[in-house]
Amino acid sequence: MTYSINKSNKDNSNSVATDEQLLTKFERAVCALKTLSAGNRTLLHASDEQELLYDMCQVIVKKGGYRFAAVAYAEHDKDKSIRWMETIGIDKAFMETLNYSWSDTEMDRSAVATAIRTNQPCVGRRILTDSLYEAPAYIPLRENAIKSGYAAVTAFPLHASGEVLGALVMGATEPDAFDDEEVSLLSELADDLAYGVANLRMRIQHQAAEATIARLAYYDPLTELPNRTFMLERLQDAIHTAKQQHHALALLHLNIVRLRGINQVLGYRSGDQLLQQLTQRLKHTLKESDFLARVGESEFALFLHTEEADYAIRVAQRLAKVLHDSVEVAGLMIDPRVSIGIALYPEHANEADTLLRRANAATNDVCLARGGYALYKGGREQECARRLSLIGDLRQAIKQNELLLYCQPKVDIASQRVCGAEALVRWQHPVHGMLSTMEFIKLAEYAGLITPLTHWMLDAVFRQSHAWYKEGLERPLAVNLSVHDLYDPLLVDRIQDLFSTWSISPELIQFELTESVLMEEPSVALDALTKLKKLGIRLFIDDFGTGYSSLSYLQKLPVDSIKIDQSFVMPMATNNNSAVIVRSTIELAHNLGLEVVAEGVDNQAVWDLLATMGGEVAQGYLVSMPIPAEQFNNWEDEWIRMSG
């Protein structure tokens, strides 16, 4: 035990004590013991660190009869400063002005600083009379002792987990206070206090860890929304209450259709940004009491207490509107495409997870329904299972090169000469036979398989074009691109590589993009088309007339031709409205310097009308159905023979 610096300060324990001295010594030991036991009780009840320090100082002053008690913590800053945490019986503000530090300098010989530095109790006695305290370093201490009415002081280090947290310091009015026995008892008190502080800190750490674990188990860290586990628990409770109170519930399932594509093409960080922005929009729209959760990678769910489906539909309409506006992600304006499915309790399911599954299944019908939402319809589950198994089969078919390249001729109307062909993919399923191209293209888009499908198609088309070229045939082939292809930053490089691999000139490969695709993401489309155009490729707007594009927008696009959609062409010989639309489209295109291809030319009357209207190219069953690429030469020989 380190006592203060001067021998004269030391307890005179070897000299014969008087009765009075013995009595005082005994009384002091009793005081220290009382303090110790009251301190222990305080420890048992402590729940807050600051409160514990306060209570302990109170015990020392009130129960122990000491003049003052204080706790100071050692800061590990560059000045090794001392922070006064609690003081009773001395002025905290005054102690702070002393700017004590626990560094080992002449001016830092206070009991507190010494106890912290040496990790030993430090006793100072007869402060008011001992000549030791006349040294400059002790002047503030003596002044404080006079001011606060104490004549002896002891500081005890507070050590926990091998570290000195600070010191417990106390003062007594008697100049000879704090003999060995008392110091030994009070040391225990300081140890108990340090243990109590460490224990409370550990408890806080445990509570924080438990809270983190609970958050991880029940919340989505990205959006900070409740996760699926939490949502299902709350939904099950809500169903339970709804059952008892005989009211209905609606569950809305929101699917961010574009998220997968954005993750794949722009990266997960962009996908995360999209989700966070959509979460903010939803939170602003919904009431605090609405339970919104993130239930899957690209899925949110919301449940509503409602009496009828109409209310759920109104909420879905409101959300669809709010989510419709584009979101800026990675410098691009992106339409997130949100589908909202609705399922109702008790109409569609009685269990939380079935209700969620059915609301999710309803999102598959959204493209059919207007307005971005759809109510669950029974009997869809089988259809969903079929779609799921087809997705797996399609992935396999692309990998194992089981797709087929079909070509449909395009003929120049004036000369009747074949001027190219459209490349169309076909899939002969081992069980279901030849599948509808429309169906599996949609499936590929939905399942994120369009990029590998387009890559397969590009390889097949370049190989075919090269084969024809070697036979002396310069027959342009047009490939259809999907909206997801426009997001593929590697597409243009890939096409460029294929041109150099197969030594094919740019006039022999063309691309078709449907008008609706171009309208969905105008800036992305313009960017991709400009890059393709730079390669010298001819570009077509497909299914023209179905996408509401404006004249001014068309003028900005680097395209060469428009293909009038077959829904206008097919009936034009019998329906005057269609004929008017086709005629004005041809005029419009010609005014813009664009060539016109008519799709769906399936009878002679249509062909003749197109010829009088000045349409340049015809494609349709009148000329030929799409045929396997290897049959094209035979077909063309026959065509020349028939038309020649």
Interface with Mg ion (CB under 5 A): 480, 512, 542-543, 599
- How many residues sit close enough to ligand C2E to count as binding (CB under 6 A)? 21
DSSP state letter for 137: G
**Least Å from the CB of residue 378 to ligand C2E:** 30
DSSP state of 226: B
The option from ligand C2E, Mg ion, none interacting with 620 (CB < 5 to 8 A, set by class) reads ligand C2E
CB of 520 to Mg ion, least distance (A): 16
Q: How far apart, in whole angstroms, are the C-alpha atoms of residue 565 and residue 195?
A: 82
CB of 251 to ligand C2E, least distance (A): 34
Identify what 621 binds: Mg ion, ligand C2E, none; CB under 5 to 8 Å per kind: ligand C2E
Residue with tokens 């190989």: 463
Burial of 447 (0-12, 13-18, 19+ CB in 10 A): middle
Verify binding: residue 408, ligand C2E, rule CB under 6 A.
yes
| DSSP 8-state symbol, 290 | S
Contact in structure between 272 and 222 (CB atoms under 8 Å)? yes
First to last CA, the chain: 119
Please, which residue, 174 or 595, has the CB nearer to ligand C2E? Answer: 595
Q: What is the 3-state secondary structure (H, E, C) of 203-220?
A: HHHHHHHHHHHHHHHHEC
Rank residues 186 and 441 by Cβ distance to ligand C2E and give the closer one. 441
Q: List the one residue out of 251, 374, 264, 274 whose CA is nearest residue 323.
A: 274
Residues 616-635: x where in contact with ligand C2E by CB under 6 A, - otherwise, as a string: ---xxx----x---------
Beta bridge partners of 152: 172
Q: Report in angstroms how near the CB of residue 403 gets to Mg ion at its nearest.
A: 16
Contact between 542 and ligand C2E by CB under 6 A: the answer reads yes
Could you tell which of ligand C2E, Mg ion, none binds residue 600, using a CB distance below 5 to 8 A set by kind?
ligand C2E
Encoded one letter per residue, x for contact with ligand C2E by CB under 6 A and - for no contact, window 592-621 reads: -------xx-x----------------xxx
Q: Please name which of 141, 36, 164 lies closest in space to residue 95, comparing C-alpha atoms.
A: 141
Q: Which of residues 429-458 bind ligand C2E (CB under 6 A)?
A: 437-438, 441, 457
Applying the rule CB under 6 A, the residues between 488 and 527 that interact with ligand C2E are: 512
Nearer to ligand C2E, 46 or 425 (CB): 425
Dmax of the chain from CA atoms? Answer: 142
Residue 538 CB, shortest distance to ligand C2E, in Å, is 15
Q: Pick the closer one to Mg ion by CB: 488 or 599.
A: 599
Nearest approach, Cβ of residue 565 and Mg ion (Å): 6
Helices 49-58, 19-45: crossing angle, 10 deg rounding: 160
The yes or no reply on residue 394 touching ligand C2E (CB under 6 A) is: no
Binding status of residue 108 toward ligand C2E by CB under 6 A: no
Q: Tokens 């087929």 identify what position?
A: 404
Nearest residue to 3 via CA among 344, 12, 80:
12
Measured at the alpha carbon of residue 21, what is the angle toward residues 18 and 24, in degrees to the nearest 5? 150
Q: Which residues sit at the interface with ligand C2E, rule CB under 6 A?
A: 408, 424-425, 437-438, 441, 457, 480-482, 512, 542-543, 566, 599-600, 602, 619-621, 626
